[in-house]
């Protein structure tokens, strides 16, 4: 399984901010793309959902819909921050991946009821 190293986590008011390390030897970087590894969008969605389960008690969600905007590629070694916010009443998980002050991607996952 491909998972980032969670260096730090801070939770407040249904939101968690995670500081992530992305070693170059993560399996998800292999082959995407040869000579220029990037973190695939599907991996970003997977991490948001898995880390939402681990840090915000989202249950074991499955997605019914999602929306993502990619603004900057994420590569091994980037100082990555992930902010997650769970809105249980609306059944959604919002996420923002940041590299320093720049938004790399952001989106929303609509969660199926358990």
Spatial distance between the Cα atoms of 49 and 63, rounded to a whole number of angstroms: 9
Supply the pLDDT for residue 17: 98
Kindly provide the b/e burial profile for residues 58-83, where b requires at least 16 CB atoms within 10 angstroms of the residue's own CB: beebebeebebeeeeebbeebebbbb
pTM over cut 0.75: yes
Residue 38 has pLDDT above 80, yes or no: yes
Supply the pLDDT for residue 114: 63
Is residue 56 within 8 A of residue 84, CB to CB? The reply is yes
Query: Domain boundaries in the chain?
Result: 5-111
Spatial distance between the Cα atoms of 90 and 96, rounded to a whole number of angstroms: 18
| Fold that domain 5-111 belongs to in CATH | Thiol Ester Dehydrase; Chain A (3.10.129)
Q: What is the pLDDT of residues 68-102, one digit of tens each?
A: 999 999 999 999 999 999 998 898 999 999 999 99
State percent of the chain over pLDDT 90.
Answer: 72
Q: Where are the alpha helices (DSSP H) in 21-107?
A: 41-56
């Amino acid at each position: 399984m491909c998972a980032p190293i969670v260096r730090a986590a801070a939770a407040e008011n249904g939101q968690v901010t995670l500081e992530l390390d992305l070693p170059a030897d993560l399996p998800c970087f292999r082959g995407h793309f040869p000579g220029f590894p990037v973190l695939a969008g599907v991996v970003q969605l997977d991490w948001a959902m898995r880390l939402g389960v681990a840090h915000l008690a989202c249950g074991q969600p499955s997605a019914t819909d999602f929306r993502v905007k990619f603004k900057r590629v994420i590569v091994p070694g980037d100082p990555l921050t992930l902010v997650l916010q769970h809105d249980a009443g609306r059944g959604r998980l919002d996420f923002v991946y940041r590299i320093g002050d720049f938004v790399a991607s952001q989106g929303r996952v609509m969660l199926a009821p358990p």
